[in-house]
Amino acid sequence: MKKIISISLLLIVPIFLFSQNKVWKSYSGDRIIEQKVDSVLSLMTVKEKIGQMSQFSANWSVTGPVMPDNFLPYLKKGLIGSIFNAVTVDGVREMQKIAVEKTRLGIPILFGYDVIHGYKTIFPIPLAEACSWDLDLMKQTARIAAEEATADGLSWTFAPMVDISRDPRWGRVMEGAGEDPFLGSQIAKARVEGFQGGKDWRSLKETNTILSCVKHFAAYGAAESGRDYNVAELSEHTLRNVYFPPYKTAIEAGAGTVMAAFNEVNGVPSTANYWLLTKVLREEWGFKGFVVTDYTGINELVPHGVAKDEKQAAMLALKAGNDMDMTGATYIKYLEGLFNEKKITEEQINVAVRRILEMKFLLGLFDDPYKYMDEDRSARTIRKPEFLETARKAVARSLVLLKNDKQLLPIEKNKHTKVALLGPMMKNSINLNGEWQGRGDRNKSVSIYKGLMDVYKNSNVKFDYAKGCEIDGFTSKSIDEAVKVAEKSDVLLVAVGEDFNWSGEAACRTNIQLPEGQQKLLKALKKTGKPIALLILSGRPLDISWEAQNIDAIVQVWFPGSQGGYGVADVVSGDYNPSGKLVMSFPRNVGQIPVYYNQKPTGRPVDLKNPTVDYKSRYIDASITSLFPFGYGLSYTTFSIKNLKLDTSVLRPNGRIVATVDVTNTGEREGEVVVQMYCRDLVGSTTRPIKELKGFQKINLKPQEKRQVQFVITPELLKYYGINHKKVIEPGDFKLWISQNSADTTNVADFSYKE
């Protein structure tokens, strides 16, 4: 504590003692904070400054090559700005104590962690949660994650991941919000607000808010052939119109940090990309927080082939705009030498350090470096019953009902039904959290079997069980046993899917069908003639063309997290009427990938009513449409959308159009529907997508209830980055649809924009 006091006394040193910097624009814009930052900076040696720009992993959980350097000597010398993967109040406190009490200046450490979809209470994977289209829910789960993580010593999460993903082979689709920039942006905002507690920088000072990190800037999700870390080969047009919007929105929502991506963009790896990290991020978008590289991103500039050695890589990274080096130890090793050789300036170092110190001030770490380290709070907070309840709610809302022939689902509790519970995922707990499970305990996750037993406890439904096969393996005997159980039952409920570590980082697949044993099991069960309801657990959209044709009911469960079994049982039983809608289109086969709804038209578009006409942009062996489109998902009730009306058909620069529709619950159950508005700009200075989501509302309706839903269309909503990469709306005609999914064309209207 002594050192902290000495620093705070120095903070009153008048500002005129310090050279005024022109390059640094603070995140808070607050003069007092700026003065405090400059005061600390003025005390630091070049070496100490570079230390602040270095982050090390405690290696308690790692996601890449472990660096040979043991970070402790650096910590003891006050040469570390941040540590990640250090967990538990005790563990974190021990390191903070060294930094604060045993080093010359006592600057507190920023502790980071990948809190992606929960910390101890694990929520559905982000891709699943996005399917809820429920922004309040996503904000709430991010808040809970922040509550838990900060109660365990952490101050920084490497989330949200907002990379647009169009390729389900890429394992990291599980971490994002799918293929759409509009929805992706709204979700990015909700998550940033949830983590940081709001846009105002003052909320960072609360003990239960966590600094967020928008990643991976930029276009990491565009990895060619769905292979992780691969080149993102994109035009600036697509970058600006498709990939950039969620990062930009997250920054506008106040995200304090940004992570550079591993991949190259425009021939230059993001980590060395000045255009990306400085021109676009700071000069165009006005980002004022700090940039951290991804794990060893600087070292990787050597194998990328843009730096001859790590020293040059460190120089390129600093000049491009990276303030902190994650685990690579390149800044700590080479920046001082580069400075002495006059290859970089002290001002370049100062700017980065100011950005990092400012965040530490805003979080309140200089006032109390131990503020997140409180065992009592930790015991009171982690896995609180309310948190588990929210997680259960999130599961039920994330599930997507893809097919439900003859209303096989729900399996009503009051009916005398014999149900065979089958499949390798039925009693499985360890897969439910999916990848990036924070500090979740895989053994504590509620299996689907357990959830069903609980929810159907006092019901008339009788269950029998057989596993049938392993996730990746089978014997004829195990399949026969499942068939025997099936034959004695009225309905088969089969839980299948991928192992959790088949998605996530460095987990890409070229075959995205169910493994052979699971397919054999399903085919054997199909022969029994019994109705089958399938629950699919996966971290990506799978190729389920066979299943879609041959199975009666399908629920896409994704990886549902620690309360998974309960949420699934809530949907199977009808206690919750499913309302999830896909945020990534499902392909018919791998050859179609990427298949996404907001594609460009081509000069030879296929007429979907007459799709086999020759010399059109099509396949001769498959349809060009997806198996299940973006926005799609069924309910146990039905809805109609009718009477689309626009209050005017001409939009003016300062004007707006109000579109209204009547939405009716036409079925027998209460339920939620996501009313989706899509637009098409018919003629532009560049080609425009055949459809773009421009609004949505999730509403709850009682049976037969009708409600009018309104959308407001403004010129701002329709703007895009045109031929000169500037945001424009061009005069001309537009089409508008209000529908239940991206392929539904029943309600269409025309309008035009006139200057």
Which residues of the chain form contacts with ligand BGC (CB under 6 A)?
Answer: 63-64, 114, 158, 215, 294-295, 505
What's the min distance (Å) between Cβ of 85 and ligand BGC? 7
CB nearer to ligand BGC: give 149 or 551: 149
DSSP 398: H
Sign of CA dihedral 579, 580, 585, 588: negative
Contacts of 692 (CB under 8 A, 6+ apart): 182, 598, 678, 679, 680
Report the 10 Å Cβ neighbour count for 718. 20
CB nearer to ligand BGC: give 40 or 272: 272
In angstroms, what CA-CA distances link 649 with 50, 682, 715? 59, 15, 13
CB nearer to ligand BGC: give 215 or 540: 215
> Is-cis flag, bond preceding 416, omega within 30?
no
Q: Do residues 103 and 76 lie in contact, with contact meaning Cβ atoms separated by under 8 Å?
A: yes
Rounded CA-CA distance 459/424 in Å is 25
CB nearer to ligand BGC: give 176 or 580: 176
CB nearer to ligand BGC: give 143 or 215: 215
**321 conformational bin, left if phi > 0, alpha if psi -120 to 50, beta if neither:** left
CB nearer to ligand BGC: give 63 or 238: 63
What's the min distance (Å) between Cβ of 213 and ligand BGC? 7
CB nearer to ligand BGC: give 332 or 661: 332
CB nearer to ligand BGC: give 158 or 632: 158
Rounded CA-CA distance 580/567 in Å is 13
Sign of CA dihedral 671, 566, 523, 501: positive
Rounded CA-CA distance 25/278 in Å is 13
CB nearer to ligand BGC: give 119 or 295: 295
Report the 10 Å Cβ neighbour count for 645. 12
What's the min distance (Å) between Cβ of 62 and ligand BGC? 7
What's the min distance (Å) between Cβ of 469 and ligand BGC? 33
Is residue 294 flagged as an active site residue? yes
Rounded CA-CA distance 753/248 in Å is 26
Centroid of chain to Cα 565: 22
DSSP 172: G
Rounded CA-CA distance 589/423 in Å is 23
Pick from 638, 734, 659: nearest CA to 691? 734
CB nearer to ligand BGC: give 78 or 504: 504
What's the min distance (Å) between Cβ of 512 and ligand BGC? 21
In angstroms, what CA-CA distances link 186 with 13, 244, 277, 554, 742? 43, 13, 22, 28, 18
HEC profile of 645-691: EECCCEECCCCCEEEEEEEEECCCCCEEEEEEEEEEECCCCCCCCCC
Buried b (16+ CB within 10 A) or exposed e, 721-748: bbeeeeebbbeeebbbbbbbbbbbeebe
What's the min distance (Å) between Cβ of 260 and ligand BGC? 10
Farthest-apart Cα atoms in the chain, separation:
85
Set 294, 325, 499, 543: catalytic member: 294
Centroid of chain to Cα 7: 39
User: Helices (H), strands (E): how many in the chain?
Assistant: 23, 26
Q: Do residues 313 and 303 lie in contact, with contact meaning Cβ atoms separated by under 8 Å?
A: no
Sign of CA dihedral 557, 696, 543, 141: negative
Q: For the sheet with 553-556, list strands across it.
A: 400-404, 553-556, 532-537, 491-497, 418-422, 462-466
Rounded CA-CA distance 31/142 in Å is 31
Name the residue with the smallest CB distance to ligand BGC.
158
Rounded CA-CA distance 354/24 in Å is 8
CB nearer to ligand BGC: give 60 or 274: 60
Pick from 439, 672, 428: nearest CA to 564? 428
Query: How many Å from the N-terminal Cα to the C-terminal Cα in the chain?
Result: 64
Pick from 329, 326, 375, 373: nearest CA to 99? 373
CB nearer to ligand BGC: give 259 or 307: 259
Token pair belonging to 482: 């499942």
Q: Which residues are catalytic?
A: 294
